[in-house]
């Protein structure tokens, strides 16, 4: 099976190409030409599959041009997760409500679910082609650590990670500055996330920069959340959730369930939509947002509206997004390439577009106050949820419902203390340990260890110096 561009379905490429060159014609994104469909007999059988087995069956059904052995090797990245046999953990919260914890990987955000296997595939493809790649990422906090970790010790891939010097949580910053692998570089920017992202975009289209890289035997690539390689692994855990509900007798074979997804760039929610398309009996995909609620008006009123919108900083920073890139793939699926091109052009020129209502989705958003209230309320049941996951509780379950939990709370201790104790933190590490004790929760060792190591990376530069900082590092 090949992939086609959301803005020009005549452009067809292989997956191995799309992974290394994620931008398609007319600024589009790559999507599979077709989606395989699974029937009831598969879901019966799959109840006895391991997670890796299930993943492999789903991936193989696409018949992409990449060897099964490479995918197998990629899925072995899940061996590093808390439970070697299962990279996620599903628990019941209350009647009809289940939580799918996707943060049991090395950096404690759901980004690991896709980036861990993705990193292996990219490095294997680069090795096969005898090429070397530089991946630059810009992060507001979770993508950076997960990308760096995904390429730790990769032989043929280097990563330079741009983060706003004062714009991430302490834990996130420590995750990016305590890295020892020689192929990784973190750069603190004297500016905000937008500045980091702008710098990245400028470099991606800078021919002189690319030429210099080429002279140093490096090609430029991107690992951002629009890369289809990341979406692929985000379909699987929604399938797994369906099979879990079947296996535990919570759903009969003709019953459906709802999924709630805290959304930003819409990769996670798109994975759920594709899982539904491929046969998992998902009824509504409920999109939870923070006050940057562009997706709420898209799904409720059929309008994507950036007029008079300014980015609001919230306590769920990974969802502080106004241009939600993966929505484009949904538009393509519903309305085709010509219409998608027109809609994206409208967004670019007029700052809005309108579409008919899409029935697969519902949407709501939370203010920071509501979000803090949910953290406090759920903590009274003995469970700590992070500020992103908290936005999901705006929805009341109407049938068996899976809440997708995207981060471990330890990444956001100041907001947790603020929400639960109505207080400021004194010292992040000791406050974290105290909160964990109170709730009989465990702090992952690799998070605690971060506080005891000395930073190996302390490069901080002006916005104007980013490019030269990267080139200096490359030439070393
Ligand atoms: C990235 C992220 C999100 C948003 O996911 P999308 O796929 O971009 O919608 C939500 N929560 C956390 C903790 C994240 O890191």
Domains of the chain and any CATH numbers:
85-109+229-443 (3.40.50.1100), 110-224+444-476 (3.40.50.1100)
Residues in CB range of 252: below 8 A, 6 or more apart: none
Both tokens assigned to 92 = 């019941």
pLDDT in tens, 159-199: 999 999 988 888 999 999 999 899 999 999 998 888 888 89
Q: Which atom from ligand 1 is nearest to the alpha carbon of 263?
A: 9
Report how far ligand 1's centroid is from the alpha carbon of 85 (Å): 24
Helix%, strand%, coil% for the chain, nearest 5: 45, 20, 35
Q: Which atom of ligand 1 is nearest to the CA of 267?
A: 7
Residue 67: per-residue pLDDT: 96
Which of 227, 232, 262 best tests ligand 1's pocket when mutated (most atoms within 8 Å of CB)?
262
| 219 Cα: distance to centroid of ligand 1 (angstroms) | 28
Name the pLDDT band for 300 (thresholds 50, 70, 90).
very high
CA of 407 to the centre of ligand 1 (A): 8
**Ligand 1 pocket, residues with Cβ under 6 angstroms:** 109-111, 142, 225, 262-269, 318-319, 388, 406-407
Is the pLDDT score of 396 beyond 90?
yes
Q: For residue 388, which atom of ligand 1 is closest to its CA? A: 11
Taking CA atoms only, the protein residue closest to ligand 1 atom 14 is 318
- Residue 141 is predicted with a pLDDT of 85
**What predicted TM-score, i.e. pTM, was given to this entire model?**
0.96
Q: Which residue has the higher pLDDT, 452 or 257?
A: 257
* pLDDT score at 194: 80
Residue nearest to atom 2 of ligand 1 (CA): 318
Mutate to test the pocket of ligand 1, among 101, 108, 110 (most ligand atoms within 8 A of CB): 110
Q: Say what percent of the chain tops pLDDT 90.
A: 89
Tell me what pLDDT residue 457 has: 86
Mutate to test the pocket of ligand 1, among 146, 163, 228, 264 (most ligand atoms within 8 A of CB): 264
Q: Which residues pair with 449 in a beta bridge?
A: none
Q: Tell me the mean pLDDT in the region 118-139.
A: 96
The per-residue pLDDT for 193 is 83
Average pLDDT on 400-424 reads 97
pLDDT of 38 > 90? The answer is yes
Q: What letters, b where the CB count within 10 A reaches 16 and e where it falls short, cover 333-370?
A: beeebeebbebbeebeeeebbebeebebbbbbbbbbeb
Mean pLDDT of the chain: 95
Concatenated DSSP letters of 117-147: HHHHHHHHHHHHHT--EEEEEE-SSSHHHHH
pLDDT surpassing 90 at residue 453: no
pLDDT at 66 over 90: yes
**Pick from 76, 143, 93: which is nearest to 406 by CA?**
143
CA of 96 to the centre of ligand 1 (A): 24
Region 92-119: mean pLDDT is 96
262 CA distance to ligand 1 middle (Å): 7
Residues 6+ apart with CB under 8 A from 242: 43, 251, 257, 275, 280, 281, 282
Name the pLDDT band for 140 (thresholds 50, 70, 90): confident
How much is the average pLDDT of 31-35? 98
Mean pLDDT over 227-234 rounds to 96
Q: pLDDT band for position 282 (50/70/90)?
A: very high
Could you read off the pLDDT of 345-374 as tens digits, one per residue?
999 999 999 999 999 999 999 999 999 999
pLDDT at 235 over 90: yes
- From 108, 137, 142, 229, mutation site for ligand 1 pocket: most ligand atoms within 8 A of C-beta: 142
Mean of the pLDDT values across residues 317-342?
Answer: 95
- Mean pLDDT along residues 11-16: 97
């Amino acid at each position: 099976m090949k992939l086609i561009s959301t803005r020009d379905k005549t452009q067809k490429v292989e997956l191995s190409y799309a992974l290394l060159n994620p931008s398609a014609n007319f600024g589009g994104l790559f999507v599979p030409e077709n989606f395989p469909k699974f029937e009831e007999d598969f879901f019966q059988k799959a109840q006895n599959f391991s997670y890796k087995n299930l993943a492999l069956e789903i991936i193989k059904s696409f018949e992409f041009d990449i060897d099964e052995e490479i995918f197998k090797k990629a899925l072995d990245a899940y061996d590093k997760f808390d439970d070697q046999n299962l990279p996620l953990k599903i628990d019941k919260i209350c009647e009809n409500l289940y939580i799918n914890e996707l943060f049991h990987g090395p950096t404690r955000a759901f980004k690991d679910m896709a980036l861990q296997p993705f990193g292996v595939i990219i490095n294997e493809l680069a090795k096969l082609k005898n090429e070397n790649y530089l991946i630059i990422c810009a992060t507001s906090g979770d993508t950076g650590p997960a990308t760096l970790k995904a390429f730790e010790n990769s032989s043929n891939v280097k990563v330079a990670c741009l983060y706003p010097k004062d714009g991430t949580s302490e834990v996130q910053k420590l995750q990016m500055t305590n890295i020892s692998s020689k192929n990784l570089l973190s750069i603190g920017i004297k500016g905000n996330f937008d500045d980091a992202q702008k710098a990245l975009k400028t470099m991606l289209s800078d021919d002189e920069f690319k030429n210099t890289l080429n002279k140093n035997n490096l090609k430029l690539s991107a690992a951002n959340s629009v890369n289809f390689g990341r979406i692929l692994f985000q379909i699987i855990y929604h399938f797994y959730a369906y099979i879990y509900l079947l296996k535990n007798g919570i759903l009969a074979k003709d019953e459906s369930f709802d999924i709630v997804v805290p959304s930003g760039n819409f990769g996670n929610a798109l994975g759920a939509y594709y899982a539904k398309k491929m046969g998992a009996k998902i009824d509504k995909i409920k999109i939870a947002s923070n006050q940057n609620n562009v997706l709420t008006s898209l799904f409720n009123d059929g309008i994507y509206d950036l007029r008079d919108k300014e980015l609001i900083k919230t306590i769920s920073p990974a969802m502080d997004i106004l241009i939600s890139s993966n929505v484009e793939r949904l538009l393509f699926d519903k309305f085709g390439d010509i219409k998608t091109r027109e809609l994206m052009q409208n967004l670019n020129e007029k700052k809005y577009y309108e579409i008919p209502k899409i029935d697969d989705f519902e949407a709501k958003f939370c203010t920071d106050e509501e979000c803090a209230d949910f953290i406090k309320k759920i903590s009274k049941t003995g469970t700590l949820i992070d500020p992103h996951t908290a936005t999901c509780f705006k929805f009341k379950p109407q049938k068996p419902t899976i809440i997708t939990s995207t981060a471990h709370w330890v990444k956001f201790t100041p907001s947790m203390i603020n929400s639960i104790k109505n207080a400021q933190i004194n010292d992040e590490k000791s406050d974290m340990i105290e909160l964990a004790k109170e709730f009989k929760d465990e702090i992952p060792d690799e998070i605690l260890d971060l506080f005891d190591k000395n930073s190996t990376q302390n490069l901080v530069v002006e916005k104007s110096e980013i490019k030269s900082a990267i080139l200096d590092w490359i030439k070393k």
